[in-house]
Amino acid sequence: MFDSKVVRRRRAALAIFVALSIVMLTAYFGESGGGLFHTLQKGAQEAFAPIETGASRALKPARDLAGWFGDTLDAKGENEDLKAEIEELRKRLGENETARRDNEQLRGLVKLGRSDGYPRGTKPLAARVIARSPTVWYSSVKIDKGSGDGVRVNQPVIAAGGLAGRVTRVTGGTAEVSLITDGSSAVSAQVMPRGAAGIVKPQVGEPDDLLLDFIEKGRRVTEGTTVVTSGFTSSREGVESLFPRGIPIGRVTEVDLDEVDLYQRVHIKPFADLRRIDYVQVLTRRGTAAPEAAVVE
């Protein structure tokens, strides 16, 4: 019973409040700008303006902090998205660069096999480099072809540009190739087109500088000429050529003339980039020299 009376009183008070509000709003909108209610509104605004300003200033650090957290979270999300996008772009760039490099080397091998003077009938077998020598001397590489593919010890190996080395060890599915920059390497060679012959040996730690020794001073060698495998046995060093005649080795970059020594020391820059080879060809058949490679002075 008591609760019913309280509810009725509250409803009556609410109805009176609503009615007064309607009356006041009607009077407010119906009077002129200088009326009572407009005057009361302006007075209230002026009275509460300092409080509103103070409250706004007091709450500004909290608003700024909340905004900073929001901006930080948004920036963190954007940063993560950018990192993922950069990583994807790097991956694509790496894949494109790898494909471009592989394409260049494979095209270089095809071009080498079609060049004038290159030995014919060599039956090349393409292979991929799967490991390199652990030293900085660029002495050997391992390839993904072995005896099961017809690879045998001492078969010549070429890379894009020219001679790379020879097979020195074979398993069923892999083979080790000793590069012409290996300390034990010795390749009988001749300078084209004049035919001056000598032995190509490496300079340890200098994969871009080979030496062509035992060129007699009477056999003139000039810079810029091409050096190829000679395909014959050298009685001076007891070296029997394992390579068919006519495989490009490099280009002459410098000739040392020593008045005491009877021979010239010819510096050669190899055509094959032996530090960055990814694909090679094993010449599983010796082949025969092309007529252009048989020019001898």
pLDDT digits (tens, 9 = 90+) for 10-65: 777 777 766 666 766 666 566 665 666 566 666 656 665 666 666 666 666 766 66
Q: Domain for residue 94, yes or no?
A: no
199 Cα distance to chain centroid? 36
Out of 12, 44, 62, a domain closes at 62
pLDDT at 52: 63
Q: Sorting pLDDT into bands at 50, 70 and 90, what band is 296?
A: very low
With b for 16 or more beta-carbon neighbours within 10 A and e for fewer, the 174-208 pattern comes to bbbbbbbbbeebbbbbbbbeeebbbbbbbeeeebb
User: Which among 30, 46, 62 is the end of a domain?
Assistant: 62
Tell whether the torsion through CA atoms of 202, 204, 206 and 207 is positive or negative. Answer: positive
Residue 265 within any structural domain of the chain? yes
Domain shared by 57 and 177, yes or no: no
CATH number of the CATH domain containing 164: 2.40.10.340
Examine the domain organization and report whether 148 and 284 are in the same domain.
yes
d(C-alpha 83, C-alpha 60), whole Å: 34
CA distance 125 to 113: 12
Residues 164 and 280 in one domain: yes
pTM of this structure:
0.64
Rg of the chain, C-alpha, whole Å? 44
- Asked whether residue 132 falls in the same domain as residue 51, the answer is no
Task: For residues 53 and 183, state if they share a domain.
Answer: no
Check whether residue 260 and residue 186 sit in a common domain.
yes
CA–CA gap between residue 142 and residue 113 (Å, rounded): 22
**Please, are residues 131 and 156 in contact by the beta-carbon 8 Å criterion?**
no
53 lies in the same domain as 133? no
Beta strands in 8-161 (DSSP E): 124-132, 140-143, 156-159
Q: Cα(184)–Cα(140) distance, rounded to whole angstroms? A: 11
Contact 268, 213 (CB under 8 A): no
Tens digits of residue pLDDT in 99-122:
787 788 888 888 888 887 788 888
- Which amino acid belongs to residue 181? T
The domain in which residue 180 lies consists of 124-294
At 232-258, the pLDDT tens digits run 755 555 555 688 889 999 999 998 876
Of 62, 95, 112, the residue that ends a domain is 62
Cα dist from 295 to 53, 114, 197, 230, whole Å: 101, 19, 12, 11
Q: What sign has the CA pseudo-torsion 240, 242, 245, 246?
A: negative
Say if residue 33 is in the same domain as residue 161.
no
How far is Cα 135 from Cα 178, in angstroms, rounded to an integer? 13
